[in-house]
Amino acid sequence: MLFLWLYMFYSCAGSCAGLAARGSPAPPRAAPPLLPGEPGEESSLEEQRAAPDAASSISSFFNGSGTKRLPQAIIIGVKKGGTRALLEFLRVHPDVRAVGAEPHFFDRNYERGLAWYRDLMPRTLEGQITMEKTPSYFVTKEAPARISSMSKGTKLIVVVRDPVTRAISDYTQTLSKKPDIPTFESLTFKNRTTGLIDTSWSAIQIGIYAKHLENWLLYFPIGQILFVSGERLISDPAGELGRVQDFLGLKRIITDKHFYFNKTKGFPCLKKAEGSSKPHCLGKTKGRTHPDIDQEVVQRLRDFYRPFNMKFYQMTGQDFGWD
């Protein structure tokens, strides 16, 4: 039946071409969909995202090109929380297509426009989800309004981690690039004697999750944001991925069978990565050994973060178990 259909399709294509050559008027070509901000914009963003691009659906069927769409889901944070691991794990799912590099559109490249942003996206087929991740969005004041302007229905994912451990991991990353930076202890305090924490230091400021979340809740309902535990992403990756797949409306395909625990690195790795038959672990920039930090400083930070953590638990309805 398929061969008969193909024969009729190509026979029709040839005869139609002949008719056009004899002067039959060709139907007008539809203009490509416009993005918000372009002259003549009339349709909604949702309609534009659902519409095919210049290639017809028949062409897409044969060449498998699919369509470039604006993301329906974004991993918005947080830095050093486990966002890269989550993205790599999700890309195993056949219905998830994601940009590998961080686009930084809603914080650094917004002036380039949505057309530029959409062009960065991978091509997807109907039923697949387009995703990207840029952890700095969560702490960017303008990001919630900008994403809401693109689509109020965008699903948001935040990977959070014990803010004290996250801050040390953040410092460790910077230290690997700039070995001559001051010590963690000296950067933590405005005044070491009084114990006043320097909240202007980004490593500290990022971990005040409740403060940043308040900004997002001005534009998105709490039910549209999924909070993933960075700790459970290590201890139970399949469990956390199950929650993520449910949130995205995907079939639970990623399960325990996809992971093995790498004792050397101290975190789970994929038995098979996207498009590969070989095991895959995150690179050497992940799982760095943290420097020894004065335990008095660690305790001061735990005391500092505690009220913010409690508020974050209340806002999200989840107890992440940080102390």
- Least confident range from 3-7, 64-68, 158-162, 262-266: namely 3-7
Q: What is the mean pLDDT of residues 215-220?
A: 98
Residue 272 pLDDT exceeds 50: yes
Residue 115 in domain: yes
Please confirm whether the linkage preceding 78 is cis (ω < 30° from 0).
yes
Residue 18 in domain: no
Instruction: Name the β-bridge partners of 133.
Output: 75
Structure confidence at residue 263 (pLDDT): 76
CA 225 to chain centre: 12
Q: What is the mean pLDDT of residues 16-26?
A: 39
Residue 4 pLDDT exceeds 60: no
Residue 6 pLDDT exceeds 50: no
Structure confidence at residue 241 (pLDDT): 98
Residue 9 exposure: Cα atoms within 13 Å on the Cβ side: 10
Q: What is the pTM of this model?
A: 0.77
Whole-number mean pLDDT of the chain? 82
Residues contributing to the annotated binding site: 80-84, 161, 169, 286-290
Q: 79, 80, 133, 155: which is the annotated catalytic residue?
A: 80
Q: What is the mean pLDDT of residues 237-264?
A: 93
Q: What is the mean pLDDT of residues 274-299?
A: 75
End-to-end CA distance of the chain: 65
What is the spatial distance between Cα 189 and Cα 204, in angstroms, rounded to a whole number?
10
Residue 14 in domain: no
Number of domains present in the structure of the chain:
1
Q: Which residue has the higher pLDDT, 61 or 121?
A: 121
Write out the residue range of the structural domain in which residue 109 sits: 67-167+206-289
Residue 50 in domain: no
Residue 118 in domain: yes
- Any idea which residue has 């992971």 for tokens? 259
pLDDT band at 26 (very low <50, low <70, confident <90, very high): very low
Residue 61 in domain: no
Based on the residue annotation, tell me whether 80 is a catalytic residue of this protein. yes
Question: Can you give the CATH number for the domain in which 134 is found?
Answer: 3.40.50.300
Residue 92 in domain: yes
Residue 309 pLDDT exceeds 90: yes
Residue 48 pLDDT exceeds 60: no
Kindly report the three-state secondary structure assignment for every residue of the chain. Answer: CHHHHHHHHHHHHHHHHHHHHCCCCCCCCCCCCCCCCCCCCCCCHHHHHHCCCCCCHHHHHHHCCCEECCCCEEEEECCCCCHHHHHHHHCCCCCEEECCCCCCCCCCCHHHCHHHHHHHCCEECCCCEEEEECHHHHHCCCHHHHHHHHCCCCEEEEEECCHHHHHHHHHHHHHHHCCCCCCHHHHHEEECCCCEECCCCHHHHCCCHHHHHHHHCCCCCHHHEEEEEHHHHHHCHHHHHHHHHHHCCCCCCCCHHHEEEECCCCEEEECCCCCCCCCECCCCCCCCCCCCCCHHHHHHHHHHHHHHHHHHHHHHCCCCCCC
Residues contributing to the annotated binding site for 3'-phosphoadenylyl sulfate: 80-84, 161, 169, 286-290
Q: Which residue has the higher pLDDT, 46 or 189?
A: 189
Residue 318 in domain: no
Q: What is the mean pLDDT of residues 42-64?
A: 35
